[in-house]
Amino acid sequence: MVRKDEVTCNLIIGDDKKTVVYGVRIGNGPIMQKTYDEYDRFFSTVKDMIPATISVAPKKRLFQAESKFFEKRRLWILVISQHLVDNQQRCEDVRRFFHIESPDDDDNNVDLGPTSLAPQQLAVTHRDHDFENFTFVDTNRVLV
């Protein structure tokens, strides 16, 4: 079973072998396919939310295999994405980039489901009650 906010990241290489896209999925949600540059630009805008230990992107090294380089980038995107999803979900930029629905901040709003009565039937007026048959008790008097 997948955690609701678990991030997965897959490397997607195009048919031309030059197009590289990273597919990120949060929980069971849809896969977002974005280029490395899109992730890099976004991560640089929220870099103050990312720990310094993971904020530095992997650099291409001379004589390094491309597959190894792409894998390092994939892991970097995965780690930062998981950190942002776990710790910064209330940030509007993070929710927009990862297509996360806005949390319901109204704790007082309770959905009780549909009612069986129409609103007209729920309206109660003083004419609906028979006040003549009520007995009122004066609670300010003490009986001895």
Is 130 contained in some domain?
A: no
CA 60, chain centre distance (Å): 33
Residue 33's φ and ψ, nearest 5 degrees, are -105, 115
55 within a domain of the structure (yes/no): yes
pTM: 0.66
Residue 37 lies inside a defined structural domain of this protein? yes
Domain of residue 14 covers 7-98
Angstrom CA distances, 62 to 25, 59, 74, 126, 127, stand at 31, 10, 19, 86, 88
Q: Would the pLDDT of 134 be above 90?
A: no
Examine residue 78 and state whether it is found in any structural domain, yes or no. Answer: yes
| pLDDT band of 2, cuts 50, 70, 90 | low
For residues 13 and 19, the answer to whether their CB atoms sit within 8 Å is: yes
Rounded to an integer, what distance in angstroms lies between the CA atom of residue 73 and that of residue 83? 15
Interatomic CA distance for residues 122 and 35, integer angstroms: 56
Q: What is the CATH number of the domain that holds 16?
A: 3.30.1520.10
71 domain residue, yes or no: yes
Mean pLDDT to the nearest integer, 29-57: 91
Flag whether pLDDT at 115 surpasses 70.
Answer: no
Q: How far apart are CA 21 and CA 39, in angstroms?
A: 10
> In this prediction, what percent of the chain has a pLDDT beyond 90?
44
Q: Which of residues 110 and 22 earns the better pLDDT score?
A: 22
Beta bridge partners of 21: 12
Tens digits of per-residue pLDDT, 60-84? 888 888 889 999 999 999 999 999 9
Give the total number of structural domains in the chain. 1
pLDDT band for position 131 (50/70/90)?
low
Examine residue 144 and state whether it is found in any structural domain, yes or no.
Answer: no
Q: What is the pLDDT confidence band of residue 143, given thresholds at 50, 70 and 90?
A: low
